Amino acid sequence: AQSVSQHNHHVILSEAASLELGCNYSYGGTVNLFWYVQYPGQHLQLLLKYFSGDPLVKGIKGFEAEFIKSKFSFNLRKPSVQWSDTAEYFCAVNGILEGFKTIFGAGTRLFVKA
């Protein structure tokens, strides 16, 4: 069965600090990988996704993530966070053989101090 593990439940950073949120998944086959973000009071929305090609993917607002197949990881990074990045971030995985079913991690709440 698929599973997703996010390493940190709460992260507090100051503005301009670098961010890395860890995500590991458990699935033996080909995967699609996602990071979703939920800003306070807003819908959950896609931040970035990987489904093939270059393992380093870039998303909106300066975020990027790297798929490392050998480590079953898909960590999210941003070189310099802003106060407006305060949100909850969810890693998600869709195993190709699982069809349309996507499994989400528990989420990481990021608070950026101005």
Partner 1 sequence: DVKVTQSSRYLVKRTGEKVFLECVQDMDHENMFWYRQDPGLGLRLIYFSYDVKMKEKGDIPEGYSVSREKKERFSLILESASTNQTSMYLCASSPQKSSSYEQYFGPGTRLTVT
Residues of this chain that bind partner 1 (CB under 8 A): 4, 6, 9, 32, 34, 36, 42-46, 49, 51-52, 90, 92, 94, 99-107
Pick 81 or 93: Cβ nearer partner 1: 93
3-state SS of the chain: helix, strand, coil percent to 5?
10, 55, 35
**The total number of residues written for the chain in this structure:** 114
Q: Tokens standing for 41?
A: 């009071």
Pick 16 or 97: Cβ nearer partner 1: 97
Chain centroid to CA 46: 9
Pick 16 or 106: Cβ nearer partner 1: 106
Q: Are 15 and 84 in contact (CB under 8 A)?
A: no
User: At closest approach, how far in Å is the CB of 107 from partner 1?
Assistant: 5
User: At closest approach, how far in Å is the CB of 91 from partner 1?
Assistant: 9
User: Where does residue 58 rank: exposed (0-12), middle (13-18), buried (19+ CB within 10 A)?
Assistant: exposed
DSSP, collapsed to helix, strand or coil, labels residue 51 as: coil
Pick 17 or 44: Cβ nearer partner 1: 44
User: At closest approach, how far in Å is the CB of 38 from partner 1?
Assistant: 9
User: At closest approach, how far in Å is the CB of 92 from partner 1?
Assistant: 8
